[in-house]
Structure 1
Amino acid sequence: MTPATLLAVAHGTHDPAGPATVRALLDRVRALRPGLRVAEAYAELASPSLEEAVRQTRGPVVAVPLLLARGYHALIDIPGRLQEACGSRVVTVARPLGPHPLLSEALADRLAAACLIGPSSVPDGDSQDRPEHPFAAMPGGPGRLGPGRSLPRPARPGIAGASLAGMGLAGVDAVVLGAAGSSDPAGVADVRAAARLLTRRLRRPVRHGFVAAGEPGLAEAVARLREHGAERVAVAAYLLAPGFFHDRMSGAGADLVSPPLGAHDAVARLVLRRFDEARARTGGWRSPREMAGRAAR
């Protein structure tokens, strides 16, 4: 019997750093499980499309949406297009990646690394021009400081406390989880859950904010924290890859925006976990209705 192919389906972006980041992540997946057939696809804006990728595979397909929350693409678009493209072939659609504690691990690492690095002129995704940089190989590039911002001194004890300092965030008073956003209530709920998981990881409250659909907006969330005394606000970018949404986060008024999750080892492990969960599920095809009826975990 032909072994199943892990078809990783990302959202897609016009930014060439986006697909490069996805490929770096899938290289980590292959390294963690040698011999596994892994293919990439994009829901929009990049190639190969979902349909093109399916035509290039054979045998059973387990599609893993490289999405961090439920929404249109995870619940309707990807399952529907796969069902049509695969025809009589066995196809299973895994849950989206988030929310999950492994993503919180990756978020905390990216945020801490960004705080240690500080500002950089290296464009997002560019890891070749400065090999001496301690995080040069980190897809998404180093974190960004907001215009006119700096992180020169430790966080104020009454706001951030020792826990943020212990995570390498000594120059940060408050953290906001920045997400793209969704008009689907399930997607908004998933981002809230992700913020709670990051709260546990950092042992300090983490607010959330959106740069597209959903409330509150990221700029509003940052402004509220400043009103309550937070001088230095960092955004943990709840994004897989660089692109339009990460650019918008940089303009939300925070002092620092972490790089996207990228090819973090915890994300690669989560991709494999979702693949294994989907393969173990009986019945093969999982309908969009069933996916919408179960909360992502």
Structure 2
Amino acid sequence: MTPALVATSHGTSSPAGRRAVAALVEAVRRRLPHVQVHDAFVDVQTPTPDDVVAHLGRPAVVVPLLLAPGFHVRVDVARAASAPGCTAAATLGPDDRLVGVLVRRLLAAGACDEDVVVLASAGSSDPVAQACFETVARDLSAAIGQIVPVGYVGGTGRPLADVVAAARVDGSDRRVVATSLLLAPGFFQDRVAAADVDVVTRPLLDDGPVDPRLVDLVVDRYAAAVTTSPAQRGWSGTG
């Protein structure tokens, strides 16, 4: 039995954010026509991954549409994935494909070599998540040829406002560009947009076409988890 894919995002009250995430999940459905793909959310929206898994009655892989490990992965995703025949996939980050999308967003925003680039993240109190964001920053630094510091608009870690202030301390007239390490429009993207920066890139997902690299990433996370799924070792369900 092919495990279902439970695409689990954070959830948002932003209509634009909901459309953006839904577009990613729909793109995954088109890529995997023989797999049941279900939406789930750890906050704000319903159903929860627990509810989805409980109603499936079949093997499933809970794929977190989250950029780094953290509370929701340790608690919500892990709890849903503990059901018989289920397993959890890795988070979307860190991954070179995220960096590729970030570079594309910078180019689309008109960023140039003379700009100072900072990476804007929602943040987390989880040190593993923070290390993940720092890894993305290092990889982005290598990709664009300048050191890219990370600033947070939530959780713990160095606030974005402090990172931007440090970028402006030399008194030069170089623009400061905040590249958004956020999955979709919503509360945190609004906080990034309110920062004292000259340019803010769009989040990884928006109302435009879904970048194929993000679809690839979700599909690959699912495929990797399927190989270790309890369903592959024999599951008592039928269907």
1:224-257 per-residue CA deviation (whole Å, 9 max, x = no partner) reads: 0111336201111111111100000011111111
Cα contact 2:8–2:41 (8 A) shared by 1: yes
Q: Which of 228-237 and 62-71 deviates more? A: 228-237
Aligned to 1:96: 91
The AA in structure 2 aligned to 1:255 is D
Aligned mates of 1:235, 1:187 — CA distance in 2 = 20
Residue in 1 that maps onto 2:142: 200
Pairing 1:254–2:201 present: no
Following TM superposition, by how much is the alpha carbon of 1:32 offset from its aligned partner in structure 2, in angstroms?
2.8
Partner of 2:33: 34
After superposition, the Cα gap between the structure-2 partners of 1:80 and 1:56, relative to the gap in structure 1 and judged at 3 Å, is closer
Match of 1:275 in 2: 222
Q: Is the 8 A contact 1:10 1:42 kept in 2?
A: yes
Deviates more, 1:231-240 or 1:71-80: 71-80
2:65 paired residue number: 66
Change beyond 3 A, Cα 1:261–1:270: same
Q: For residues 36 and 284 of structure 1, do their structure 2 counterparts lie closer, same or farther at Cα, with a shift above 3 Å needed? A: closer
Task: Confirm or deny: 8 A CA contact 2:3 2:231 kept in the other structure.
Answer: no
State whether structure 2 residue 173 is matched by structure 1 residue 237.
no
Amino acid at match of 2:98: L
> What percentage of aligned pairs have identical amino acids?
37
How far, CA to CA, are the matches of 1:82 and 1:62 in structure 2? 7
The equivalent residue for 1:131 is none
Q: Do the aligned partners of 1:7 and 1:41 also contact (CA within 8 Å) in 2?
A: yes
Contact (CA 8 Å) 2:183, 2:203: kept in 1 or not?
yes
Q: 1:246 to 1:30 in 2, by over 3 A?
A: same
Residues matched between the structures, number? 227
Alignment of structure 1 residues 181-192 onto 2, 5 Å = 181-192=123-134
Paired letter, 1:191:
F
Contact 1:172 1:234 in 2 (8 A): no
The answer as to whether partners of 1:173 and 1:230 remain within 8 angstroms in 2 is no
Give the aligned partner of residue 79 of structure 1.
78
Deviations 1:178-200 (A, max 9, x none): 00011111111110001011112
Q: Which amino acid aligns with 2:228?
A: R
RMSD: 1.9
Q: Give the drift of 1:82.
A: 4.0
1:158 maps to: none
TM-score of the two chains, using structure 1 as the length reference? 0.72
The aligned amino acid for 2:178 is V
CA contact (8 A) 1:173 1:233 kept: yes
Deviation at 1:259, TM superposition (A): 1.0
1:181-224: CA deviation from partner (whole Å, max 9, x where unpaired) = 11111111110001011112222221111001122111111110
CA contact (8 A) 1:6 1:62 kept: yes
User: What is the distance in 2 between the residues matched to 1:13 and 1:27?
Assistant: 17
**How high is the TM-score relative to the length of structure 2?**
0.88
Q: Which residue of 2 aligns with 1:46?
A: 45
Gap change, CA 1:196 and 1:284, over 3 Å in 2: farther
Is the 1:191–1:208 Cα contact (8 Å) retained in structure 2?
A: yes
Checking the alignment, whether the CA contact within 8 Å between 2:5 and 2:62 is kept in structure 1 is yes
**Following the alignment from structure 1 to structure 2, what is the Cα–Cα distance between the partners of residues 242 and 194?**
20
